């Protein structure tokens, strides 16, 4: 694979902050919605009608009522708990609402390409990008801690790029499409940050020939010199990624993988454990997070490069979903990411050893894990997959 210009696509005038999921994430999200003066692009995989979802919807409506142009695009499968009554209500208060893609369609024939990205862009100068959905289980509530996840709060040139990305998707996707919105930046925008922080917007949409995030992970493995940390829910790397990991280990790179100990999708967890022996055989350090459900998608390499977003290292993110990550090429930010992951390893995870895996997962468990692994791959291909790629 030809190596691209390593700095291609990066913007420099940015300010970034790593935001932990839960209370910190929703406090930042609500603040952004309340500060908006021109426009809000809100694109989400899961938005539930619970306390958390209701609060976010209320602040979107309040923004629309004070004259902000609010465009809300949610996945047509994962957010089906939104009632027609609630949708009529938010539209009545000025929110432009749209579902992303129907579940079934003739001619092209597919069951459901997913809008899996989670992004909010305010006034084309500030954005929040990550893996956090809008639902109680992603929030810190009385007697309940949030599922483990992160986002990046970014101000500057990268936010303008995200504004363009969201506008493009709004114009191309969804049920009941209307006249496209023209690209116009707000007249009164915040000054660009003085900081010089390299940030790149990376997208994944295999159907439209966008494989930027997959390529980024492969290049990360190819370029790594010392170490790679990866935390991913539903960690099921394909053959190409596994080969890149093997080669990195042979070069002396230390790879640390944090997988879920508890999972909301039991079959995916069993499929993931099918790969444990391969990971351990290839001298990859493996840990299972214990404190709660692991939902994050965050990685870093060599204390200089990090990626945060909605992309899981598995087949469905690679081939059947629209994903969005932010890559940050900055030593200070990456050091923060590494420290977060080290704390997860040291304080909230247990190591998985080869001898333990052999004792814990005998031939019967191994056979069941292989069935789950094969079934998951088949399900992804048959039920969440376009049968042909399309040009933009």
Does the pLDDT at position 4 exceed 70? no
What are 15's strand-pairing partners?
Answer: 155
- Nearest one of 317, 383, 314 to 77, comparing CA atoms: 383
CA distance 88 to 134: 19
DSSP state of 233: T
Both tokens assigned to 347: 């304080």
Helix (H, G, I), strand (E, B) or coil at 28: helix
Does the pLDDT at position 369 exceed 90? no
HSE, side-chain direction, 13 A CA sphere, residue 166: 30
Both tokens assigned to 233: 């829910």
Grade residue 93 by pLDDT with cuts at 50, 70 and 90.
Answer: very high
| pLDDT higher at 384 or 241 | 241
| CA distances (Å), origin 160, targets 14, 126, 127, 151 | 10, 8, 9, 17
Handedness of CA 266, 271, 274, 276 (dihedral sign): negative
Give mean pLDDT, residues 194-214: 92
Query: How many percent of the chain have pLDDT more than 70?
Result: 87
Q: What was the pLDDT predicted at 76?
A: 84
DSSP state of 145: P
Does the pLDDT at position 386 exceed 90? no
Helix (H, G, I), strand (E, B) or coil at 308: strand
pLDDT, tens digit, 9 for 90 and up, residues 220-278 = 999 999 999 999 988 989 899 999 999 999 999 999 999 998 877 767 777 788 888 88
| pLDDT higher at 138 or 107 | 138
Give mean pLDDT, residues 113-130: 94
Q: What was the pLDDT predicted at 31?
A: 98
Does the pLDDT at position 387 exceed 50? no
What are 321's strand-pairing partners?
Answer: 114
C-alpha of 251 from chain center: 29
Handedness of CA 32, 34, 40, 41 (dihedral sign): positive
- Residues in contact with 135: Cβ distance below 8 Å, sequence separation at least 6, in sequence order: 46, 47, 48, 50, 52, 53
Does the pLDDT at position 82 exceed 80? yes
CA distance 141 to 129: 22
Does the pLDDT at position 287 exceed 90? yes
Q: What was the pLDDT predicted at 50?
A: 96
Mean pLDDT rounded to a whole number for the chain: 88
Query: How many percent of the chain have pLDDT more than 90?
Result: 66
- Nearest one of 101, 138, 136 to 116, comparing CA atoms: 101
Radius of gyration of the chain (CA): 21
CB 30, CB 63: distance < 8 Å: no
Q: What was the pLDDT predicted at 391?
A: 46
Q: What was the pLDDT predicted at 107?
A: 41
| CA distances (Å), origin 112, targets 17, 77, 228 | 33, 8, 33
Q: What was the pLDDT predicted at 173?
A: 72
Helix then strand count (H, E) for the chain reads: 12, 17
pLDDT, tens digit, 9 for 90 and up, residues 180-193 = 777 677 766 788 88
Weakest mean pLDDT among 1-10, 12-21, 247-256, 307-316: 1-10
pLDDT, tens digit, 9 for 90 and up, residues 135-154 = 999 999 999 999 999 999 99
Cα torsion for 190, 194, 195, 196, to the nearest 10°?
100
Cα torsion for 334, 339, 341, 342, to the nearest 10°?
140
Does the pLDDT at position 18 exceed 70? yes
CB 14, CB 126: distance < 8 Å: no
| Residue whose tokens read 């909301």 | 264
CA distance 310 to 296: 8
What are the start-end ranges of the H helices in the chain? 23-35, 51-65, 84-92, 157-172, 212-223, 239-250, 266-274, 276-281, 315-319, 331-348, 354-360, 363-383
Helix (H, G, I), strand (E, B) or coil at 202: strand
Q: What was the pLDDT predicted at 215?
A: 96
Q: What was the pLDDT predicted at 105?
A: 44
Q: What was the pLDDT predicted at 208?
A: 81
Q: What was the pLDDT predicted at 106?
A: 38
Q: What was the pLDDT predicted at 29?
A: 98
pLDDT, tens digit, 9 for 90 and up, residues 326-365 = 999 999 999 999 999 999 999 999 999 876 666 566 667 7
What are 74's strand-pairing partners?
Answer: 44, 99
Does the pLDDT at position 174 exceed 70? no
């Amino acid at each position: 694979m030809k190596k691209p210009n390593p700095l291609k696509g990066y913007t420099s005038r940015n300010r970034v902050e790593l935001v932990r999921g839960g209370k910190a994430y929703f406090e930042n999200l609500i603040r952004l919605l309340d500060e908006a003066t021109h426009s809000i692009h809100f694109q989400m995989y899961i938005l539930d009608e619970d306390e958390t979802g209701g609060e976010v919807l209320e602040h979107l409506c309040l923004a629309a009522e004070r004259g902000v142009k609010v465009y809300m695009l949610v996945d047509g499968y994962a957010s089906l708990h939104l009632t027609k009554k609630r949708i009529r209500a938010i539209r009545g208060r000025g929110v432009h609402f749209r579902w992303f893609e129907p579940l079934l369609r003739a001619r092209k024939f597919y069951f459901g390409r997913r809008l899996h990205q989670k992004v909010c862009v305010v006034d084309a100068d500030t954005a929040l990008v990550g893996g956090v959905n809008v639902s109680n289980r992603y929030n810190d509530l009385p007697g309940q801690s949030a599922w483990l996840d992160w986002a990046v709060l970014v101000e500057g040139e990268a936010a303008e790029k995200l504004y363009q990305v969201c506008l493009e998707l709004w114009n191309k996707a969804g049920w009941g499409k209307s006249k496209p919105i023209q690209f116009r930046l707000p007249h009164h925008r915040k000054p660009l940050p003085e900081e010089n922080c390299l940030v790149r917007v990376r997208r994944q949409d295999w159907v439209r020939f966008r494989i930027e995030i997959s390529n980024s992970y492969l290049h990360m493995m190819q370029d790594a010199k010392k170490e790679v940390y990866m935390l991913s829910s539903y960690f099921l790397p394909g053959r190409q990624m596994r080969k890149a990991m093997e080669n990195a280990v042979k070069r002396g790179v230390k790879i640390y993988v944090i997988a879920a100990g508890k999972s909301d999708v039991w079959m995916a967890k069993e499929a993931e454990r099918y790969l444990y022996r391969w990971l351990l055989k290839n001298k990859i350090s493996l840990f299972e997070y214990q404190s709660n459900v692991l939902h994050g998608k965050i990685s870093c390499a060599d204390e200089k490069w990090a990626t945060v977003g909605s992309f899981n290292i598995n087949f469905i993110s690679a081939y059947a979903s629209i994903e969005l990550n932010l890559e940050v090429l900055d030593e200070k930010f990456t050091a923060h990411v590494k420290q977060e992951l080290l704390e997860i390893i040291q304080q909230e995870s247990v190591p998985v050893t080869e001898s333990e895996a052999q004792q814990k997962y005998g031939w019967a468990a191994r056979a069941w894990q292989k069935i789950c692994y094969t079934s998951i791959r088949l399900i992804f291909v048959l039920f969440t997959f376009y049968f042909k790629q399309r040009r933009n």
